[in-house]
């Protein structure tokens, strides 16, 4: 179903950051069905468990997309489904969230480890810190941070920790290379969580896919400028439809 797009949210903040984008996309194309699928509430950090849950709940033969962790999971699910996925789009989603020798353009390991320890000690305070990092680079970072936090679900500490542990171990490079359908990956120039250099690194890895960098924007650019992001996505979808 080329007129159906399933969006997956990022870590900890639930589906509300994606809702303005979903509404903007529907407004641009009344035939497009946009659905936001919550992430599984699992206390396991096993990627296959997460993909099994998503595979069972997310409709087949649709476009898959997501923000941050949601984009990483959408990438893995697209690779798993192959021809049963119409295409893939990710927003502020690094192939590896934590840096390593083969992918240095990511969050330093020691920074992430401190984040993980903070979540184990005080999940709510860590979520607040995370929302501030998401809003970094926005015109009104404090206002955007409050908006992000206001819609966050009351997930258990175990679920939040599992999501972070999953984020630490994921590396979607192979999935992105395996998936043969159309791909669009959008990054932000002022992102406090995903370095802008990741866009160039991903283009080197995948020279045949669409990769964009929104210069004056932070990690939560989809919430700060949903209509602009929707326009970019819609143009890409139309281009794919014309092929």
3-state SS of 167-201 is: HHHCCCHHHHHHCCCCEEEEEECCCCCCCCHHHHH
Catalytically annotated residues:
68, 191, 219
DSSP one-letter code for 49:
H
Tokens of 31: 């035939």
Distance between CA atoms of residues 235 and 243, nearest Å:
13
Tokens of 198: 């990741």
- CA-to-CA dists, residue 130 to 61, 62, 92, 136, 138, angstroms: 33, 30, 14, 10, 14
Distance between CA atoms of residues 81 and 60, nearest Å:
8
């Amino acid at each position: 179903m080329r007129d159906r797009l399933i969006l997956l949210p990022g870590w900890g903040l639930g589906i509300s950051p994606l809702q303005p984008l979903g509404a903007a996309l529907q407004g641009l194309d009344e035939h497009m069905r946009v659905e936001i699928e919550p992430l599984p509430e699992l206390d396991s950090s096993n990627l296959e468990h997460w993909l099994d849950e998503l595979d069972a709940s997310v409709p087949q033969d649709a476009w898959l997309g997501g923000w941050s962790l949601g984009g990483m999971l959408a990438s893995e699910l697209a690779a798993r489904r192959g021809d049963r996925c119409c295409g893939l789009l990710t927003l502020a989603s690094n192939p590896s969230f934590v840096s390593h020798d083969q992918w240095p353009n990511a969050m330093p390991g020691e920074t992430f480890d401190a984040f993980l320890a903070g979540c184990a000690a005080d999940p709510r305070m860590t979520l607040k810190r995370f929302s501030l990092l998401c809003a970094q680079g926005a015109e009104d970072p404090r206002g955007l941070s409050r908006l992000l936090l206001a819609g966050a679900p009351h997930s258990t500490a175990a679920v939040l920790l599992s999501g972070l542990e999953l984020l630490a171990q994921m590396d979607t490079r192979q999935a992105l290379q395996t998936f043969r359908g159309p791909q669009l990956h959008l990054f932000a120039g002022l992102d406090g969580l995903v370095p802008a250099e990741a866009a160039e690194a991903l283009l080197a890895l995948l020279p045949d896919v669409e990769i964009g960098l929104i210069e004056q924007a932070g990690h939560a650019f989809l919430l700060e400028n949903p209509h602009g992001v929707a326009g970019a996505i819609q143009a890409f979808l139309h281009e794919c439809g014309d092929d």
